[in-house]
Amino acid sequence: MVRVTIDMTPRTALTARNVFESRKERLKLHWAAGKNGDKRSLEAPDARWSGMALVGYLNTVHANRVQIIGTEELNYLNQLDAQHQSSTKSRIFHQPRTSLVIISDGMDVPQNLLLIADEADMPLIVSQLPAPELIYHLQFYLARALSPKSSMHGVLLSVMGHGVLITGESGVGKSELALELIARGHHLVADDAITIRRTSPEHLEGYCNPKFNHFLEVRGLGILNIHEMFGEAATRLTKRIELIVNLQRMDPQRLSTMDRLHQKESHRNILGIQIPEITVPVTSGRNLSVMIEAAVRNQILVSRGYNAVEDFITIQQDVINSTTC
């Protein structure tokens, strides 16, 4: 049996502190105030707070999870009269939907914003980047960090540039096949426990902890360091999953009953996305690495609209028709 754990819940343990620590160098961040709110969690929009965006320019009506205050927004706040300025700033920093406020362009933070951020325990961070670039970067980062995820047992490889997830019961030969494919010039992405995330409505991406992505366990050989054995180019950090290959042990009798023309397409649903899946019988004398390469080449043709079975049947029918005339 293939072990699959699926979590469609969009919320993950992503806090304001996580965002700051992981992006502080790239976005040139400085924590100005509200440090006691570092455990405020960010979560994707859902039915509770419909219409809420993950990140965007300051919005006092439909608050974003991450509010960006640029030059125009800060000028707007400063131009308000004392009463409206106080109430607006209080509403911004006491908004339960918001987890983080960032001031862009390296602007000086008014003293009253520092005080209210500390009072409300709202993280207030300054970035040296201009607001458009800051929002652009955070949109991609948060979408990936908060995307639905699942975990799966198998080996993920990049074969001819296509992400191939090899699955099958324990001991069927997944790692041995992966090692042979790597020796043939293909690339290891993840072994054993693969994390899968939905990066778009149509795409899945697989990866593992980057500290372990270059290790492969092979029965009889133990743990192999693919990076050291085959070089840096033999591994990849992530890969879009485009084909699932399910290895199955089969006796000759069961093998003889398989659909030899492979007329029916099979798919596996992972996180709401249908991924093409093929079953490859594991029997003595079969060159599985060549079969996987052939399966990938065929999948490339299928994605371009070509179907070898339909082409074969059409030619066969033409031959039959020509001989009966």
**Residues belonging to the active site:** 153, 174, 192, 260
Asked whether 198 and 148 are in contact (CB, 8 A), the reply is yes
Tokens for 153, please give them.
Answer: 């047992």
What angle, rounded to 10 degrees, do the helices at 288-303 and 174-183 form? 80
Instruction: Indicate the pairing of strand 14-15 with strand 41-42.
Output: antiparallel
Asked whether 235 and 227 are in contact (CB, 8 A), the reply is yes
Q: d(Cα 192, Cα 173) in Å, to the nearest integer?
A: 12
Tokens for 291, please give them.
Answer: 């079969």
DSSP character at residue 210: T
HSE-up of 288 (CA within 13 Å, CB side)?
A: 24
